[in-house]
Structure 1
């Protein structure tokens, strides 16, 4: 198994202010949650953005035909812990400690559910955006369908980041240089750029691993990301 370069898991920063800016309702104020309105969230002019050279109006989708991202709060810490435990995540504390600090430093946290079975099949997180407009997403998936749904979950999580904040770059850290494993497919793989390699940066399963710092730029998401979402949402 090739590990994802993880973070220290540790309540999640409320999204209420960001949601109000976007005109979206929120619920459960003790952790970020999104009650997505009906429809695709497109304005009548959205389809013409490419012709006009403008940025599209992003909508924070949380579902594709196969998976759904459900906001995770304190009550979901045990389920999130189970996902990370199955994957053998390095540095995972005992459950009590994990529950007490679950979501610290994150702007959003989701459990990934299979829409056919409603089974929890993963965890998806978004870090707080920094002053430069950069943030980091992480996707942890378990089960036999992990490879099949990876593209959907990465796309939903990245799009959420671009939709909710003035995000310039979405970073993904991986121990494999193969960007195809993210799952966007050949037509959209080019939007994932390698920005740096951190040699022997993390320790996992008895060895040191390089960490590959990958980035998705907003200008690439404006074209490739929107086209990808149109296929899967």
Structure 2
């Protein structure tokens, strides 16, 4: 073997972490379908999903979960395994280097940093495993307001379809947001270092501008 063919020394290669201080990303298995189905059909969250109140059969829901999916994980407690929600990437286009991202959390976890911790782990997972240029998020106006504070720091707005979706007597704008690889390098990797497990006694403090947790933002079926 020529010297130029040898692997460089000192290269730190390993898996993208899937466990943070408050959450763990684990594989979705059939017993999870009931939790996710009830979450999607719930009074608190059903109206935020793209179905906007449309009922799906449990069987159809489970099938739709995997349609056009690139990767998805349950968000759970790192020790007890208690389910918190779901992160999913779908509609990937490897020719052009992008995919879509969606996330849903339990209603009682809205407004906490748990959703953003899961997002930091998953965004890092996607950029680590695939040569993506950007990750798209589609958010209707009343969902976007929940995490608008991250605009310009953690993601950028790339488009807006005016009066695009009808709900509750009016039409709402729909936004196309993007997490660029450059922002992952500059901002999300820093957040990843914050959310990874630390020594006992370490107090987690959310950085300035840290958005609220996901609550169906950008969620599809699902």
Aligned twin of 2:33 = 77
Q: Could you list the runs of 5+ residues in structure 1 that have no partner in the other structure?
A: 1-42, 47-56
Give the counterpart of 1:163 among 110, 128, 134: 128
| Change over 3 Å in CA distance of 1:100–1:144 after alignment to 2 | closer
User: Is the 1:85–1:92 contact (alpha carbons within 8 Å) kept by the matching residues of 2?
Assistant: yes
How many pairs were matched up?
179
Aligned twin of 2:111 = 147
| Change over 3 Å in CA distance of 1:150–1:204 after alignment to 2 | farther
Task: Give the structure, 1 or 2, with the largest relative contact order (CA under 8 Å, sep 6 or more).
Answer: 2
Pairwise CA distance, 1:178: 8.5
| Change over 3 Å in CA distance of 1:74–1:136 after alignment to 2 | same
Aligned twin of 2:138 = 173
Q: Could you list the runs of 5+ residues in structure 2 that have no partner in the other structure?
A: 1-8, 197-222
- What is the alpha-carbon distance in structure 1 between the residues aligned to residue 143 and residue 90 of structure 2? 23
1:24-50 deviation per Cα after TM superposition (whole angstroms, max 9, x unaligned): xxxxxxxxxxxxxxxxxxx9566xxxx
- Could you say what secondary structure the match of 2:118 adopts? helix
Aligned twin of 2:205 = none
**TM-score using structure 1 length:** 0.66
1:172-214 deviation per Cα after TM superposition (whole angstroms, max 9, x unaligned): 122248878449x87x961311111112223345543211111
**TM-score using structure 2 length:** 0.69
User: Is the 1:62–1:68 contact (alpha carbons within 8 Å) kept by the matching residues of 2?
Assistant: yes
- Could you say what secondary structure the match of 2:66 adopts? coil
Give the counterpart of 1:135 among 90, 99, 105: 99
- Could you say what secondary structure the match of 2:18 adopts? coil
- What is the alpha-carbon distance in structure 2 between the residues aligned to residue 231 and residue 120 of structure 1? 22
| Change over 3 Å in CA distance of 1:206–1:71 after alignment to 2 | farther
Aligned twin of 1:68 = 24
User: Is the 1:127–1:135 contact (alpha carbons within 8 Å) kept by the matching residues of 2?
Assistant: yes
Within 5 A, what are the aligned runs for 1:1-233?
Answer: 59-86=15-42, 87-88=45-46, 89=49, 90=52, 91-115=54-78, 117-130=80-93, 131-148=95-112, 149-176=114-141, 181-182=146-147, 190-205=153-168, 207-233=170-196
User: Is the 1:138–1:172 contact (alpha carbons within 8 Å) kept by the matching residues of 2?
Assistant: yes
- What is the alpha-carbon distance in structure 2 between the residues aligned to residue 104 and residue 201 of structure 1? 24
- What is the alpha-carbon distance in structure 1 between the residues aligned to residue 142 and residue 92 of structure 2? 24
| Change over 3 Å in CA distance of 1:64–1:182 after alignment to 2 | farther
- What is the alpha-carbon distance in structure 2 between the residues aligned to residue 77 and residue 119 of structure 1? 14
| Change over 3 Å in CA distance of 1:205–1:178 after alignment to 2 | closer
1:122-164 deviation per Cα after TM superposition (whole angstroms, max 9, x unaligned): 1110114202101111011113223211211221221111111
Q: Give the root-mean-square deviation of aligned CA atoms.
A: 2.9
